[in-house]
């Protein structure tokens, strides 16, 4: 799991404008009046309906999570009464109002600016090129109107149509993670959740088994366990035993004694003795540079490599203060 930071102020304004263009003023007022019957009493702070609609669209993830928990524990029946119509001709069976909100997502996501779709601009604004759920599949765009990512409704828009166009309910994800997650009803961990330190909560390691290796992924966080188990993340990483094998072979091939030989050779090649390579220089040449947390947004399998390098002592991680 990779943390996604808050969207820029500029993009939030762009997104809000795109949603408003596809939701009429009448529907904006109506959804605010309707949702007040099942959202937490303190969800809205603005005095007018337009300001409250903007709060619904731009609510940070923490606020959405608290609202979802409140509805699930206290107001599920009220939400169902407001949003559902079992006689509706629509699929899903939503009232006309909430079906229009449900459909507005697609229209807003396909909207254009300077010839580039909002789907593409949204992913670019996150800085991601790999899926934040699996850190494995690339999600970069292939063209200005060809998004490489699907936009996962973290709280499903059929189950929670009130959040269908809420910005922080949209998680750019690979097709596999989005498709598998959509079939689950567990409480998942969102990449927008600031209460989870994903780099610390999820740990990769390896162990030998028979003639090969096993990639282990561990966490103590219950929501993260649901991500790993339901989205079949461990199964996705099973084939990457070959990457573990490659790392181990490189480590054996470039031992400390060989590093010393490299250093000696370079020194002898230079009469002045000023050319000198360090152990770190050789490690960078063999394994690449150390993987930083920010690299995990753009490099496939970066978290796995980071943790395995730490396990093998190639690039040990210094403990954080208080950890």
Question: Which pLDDT tens digit goes with each residue over 223-279?
Answer: 999 999 999 999 999 999 999 999 998 888 776 666 667 667 666 655 555 656 677
279 and 218 share a domain?
Answer: yes
* Residues linked to residue 112 through DSSP beta bridges, in sequence order: 117
67 and 95 share a domain?
Answer: yes
Give yes or no for a contact between 132 and 2, defined as CB atoms under 8 angstroms apart.
Answer: yes
163 and 14 share a domain?
Answer: yes
Query: How many domains does the chain divide into?
Result: 2
Mean pLDDT of the residues in the chain: 90
141 and 214 share a domain?
Answer: no
Predicted pLDDT at 261: 72
Cα separation, 108 vs 85, in Å, equals: 24
**Which of 149, 181, 213 corresponds to the end of one domain?**
181
38 and 83 share a domain?
Answer: yes
Predicted pLDDT at 270: 57
Of the candidates 174, 54, 63, 151, which has an alpha carbon nearest to the alpha carbon of residue 105? Answer: 151
DSSP state, 296? G
54 and 172 share a domain?
Answer: yes
Predicted pLDDT at 323: 41
In a domain, 186, yes or no: no
In a domain, 318, yes or no: no
In a domain, 42, yes or no: yes
Cα separation, 112 vs 93, in Å, equals: 30
Predicted pLDDT at 229: 94
Give yes or no for a contact between 174 and 136, defined as CB atoms under 8 angstroms apart.
Answer: yes
Predicted pLDDT at 91: 84
pTM above 0.85, yes or no: yes
In a domain, 173, yes or no: yes
Considering the chain, what percentage of its residues have pLDDT values greater than 90? Answer: 75
* Residue scoring higher pLDDT (118 or 316): 118
Predicted pLDDT at 236: 96
The torsion angles phi and psi of 36, rounded to 5 degrees, stand at -60, -20
173 and 91 share a domain?
Answer: yes
**Which of 155, 181, 207 corresponds to the end of one domain?**
181
Cα separation, 101 vs 253, in Å, equals: 59
59 and 100 share a domain?
Answer: yes
Annotate 189-257 with DSSP letters as a single string.
PPTT-TT--HHHH-EEEEEEETTEEEEEEE---HHHHHHHHHTTHHHHHGGGHHHHHHHHHHHHHS-HH
| pLDDT over threshold 70, residue 189 | yes
Cα separation, 91 vs 129, in Å, equals: 33
132 and 33 share a domain?
Answer: yes
Cα separation, 83 vs 35, in Å, equals: 9
18: containing domain:
9-181
**Which of 122, 154, 181 corresponds to the end of one domain?**
181
Considering the chain, what percentage of its residues have pLDDT values greater than 70? Answer: 91
| pLDDT over threshold 90, residue 1 | no
14 and 153 share a domain?
Answer: yes
Q: Give the pLDDT confidence of 282-291 residue by residue, as tens digits.
A: 788 888 899 9
In sequence order, the 6+-apart residues with CB closer than 8 A to the CB of 60 are 6, 168, 192
Predicted pLDDT at 322: 45
125 and 262 share a domain?
Answer: no
Lowest mean pLDDT among 52-56, 83-87, 261-265, 293-297: 261-265
């Amino acid at each position: 799991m990779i943390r996604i930071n808050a969207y820029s102020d500029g993009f939030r304004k762009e997104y809000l404008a795109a949603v408003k263009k596809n939701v009429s003023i009448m529907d904006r007022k109506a959804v605010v009046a309707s949702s007040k019957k099942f959202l937490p009493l303190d969800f809205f702070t603005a005095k007018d309906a337009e300001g409250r609609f903007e709060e619904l669209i731009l609510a940070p993830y923490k606020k959405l999570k608290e609202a979802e928990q409140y509805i699930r524990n206290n107001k599920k029946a009220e939400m169902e009464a407001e949003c559902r119509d079992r006689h509706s001709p629509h699929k899903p069976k939503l009232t006309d109002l909430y079906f229009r909100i449900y459909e507005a997502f697609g229209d807003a996501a396909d909207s254009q600016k300077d010839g580039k779709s909002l789907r593409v601009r949204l992913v670019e604004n996150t800085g991601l090129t790999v899926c934040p759920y699996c850190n494995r599949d690339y999600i970069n765009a292939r063209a200005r109107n060809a998004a490489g990512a699907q936009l996962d409704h973290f709280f499903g828009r059929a189950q929670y149509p009130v959040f269908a166009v809420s910005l922080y309910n949209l998680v750019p994800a690979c097709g596999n993670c989005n498709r598998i997650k959509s079939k689950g009803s567990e409480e998942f961990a969102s990449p927008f959740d600031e209460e989870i330190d994903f780099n610390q909560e999820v740990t990769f390691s390896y162990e030998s088994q028979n003639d090969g290796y096993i990639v282990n992924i561990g966490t103590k966080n219950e929501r993260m366990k649901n991500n790993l188990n339901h989205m079949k993340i461990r199964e996705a990483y099973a084939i990457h035993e070959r990457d573990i094998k490659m790392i181990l072979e490189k480590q054996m091939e470039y031992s400390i004694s060989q590093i010393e030989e490299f250093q000696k050779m370079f020194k002898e090649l230079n009469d002045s003795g000023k050319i000198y390579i360090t152990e770190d220089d050789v490690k960078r040449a063999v394994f690449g540079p150390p993987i930083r947390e920010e690299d995990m947004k753009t490099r496939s399998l970066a978290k796995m490599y980071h943790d395995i390098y730490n396990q093998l002592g190639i690039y040990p991680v210094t403990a954080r203060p208080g950890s």
